[in-house]
Amino acid sequence: MSDSNASFNPFIVDPRIEIRTFQSNEEGFSLFTQALINLFTGGPCSECGQDRPPPCLCSLEVVERGLVKEAREIIDNLETGEQLSPDTQQVWRKAADDIHIPYWDRSAPVPPVLSDPKLTLAMPDGSTSVVDNILLPLRDLLPSS
């Protein structure tokens, strides 16, 4: 498993993208959502000890590092359980490494990704998976533009 702090640099701030744009990146959005489900249904926060959900009050940086770690674990588990092509592995690994919490442009209408009860996620084998929308209770916690 990869070290979750391997690419962390406190002096580089990656730009956040609006959630509608983020959702169009199927791999990144799928891993973000799966990691979010794992992170917020996995017991108390390892940083602050607060029960989840509701989400803990840790900084976005701490939550993002947790999301990247979870996403990498999802990919590691897929690579050991399925035969993914090297190209597919590379695409999904990059998607895991590039996860950031998106923002919501509140001047625009609420996007379906923040209001639909279910989400359809792309999977590395080309299939899709329908999951409960974990973003619903988190909608008002997303950073805004």
Distance between CA 63 and CA 10 in Å, rounded?
A: 14
Please compute the mean of the pLDDT values over residues 120-134 and round it to a whole number.
91
pLDDT digits (tens, 9 = 90+) for 66-102: 888 889 988 888 766 667 788 888 899 899 988 888 8
Statement: the pTM of the whole predicted model exceeds 0.85: no
Which spans in the chain are helix H? 19-23, 26-40, 60-81, 86-97
Domain coordinates of the chain in residue numbers? Answer: 19-141
What are the distances in angstroms from CA 55 to CA 60, 86, 87, 112? 11, 35, 34, 21
Residues 18-33 pLDDT 10s: 888 888 989 999 998 9
Please determine, for residue 35, whether its predicted confidence score (pLDDT) is greater than 90. no
The reply to whether omega before 53 is within 30° of 0 (cis) is yes
CB of 26 closer than 8 Å to CB of 94: no
Over the stretch 36-71, which tens digit does the pLDDT of each residue have?
A: 888 777 666 666 666 655 455 566 677 788 888 889
Query: What pLDDT is attached to residue 132?
Result: 93
Q: What amino acid occupies position 78?
A: L
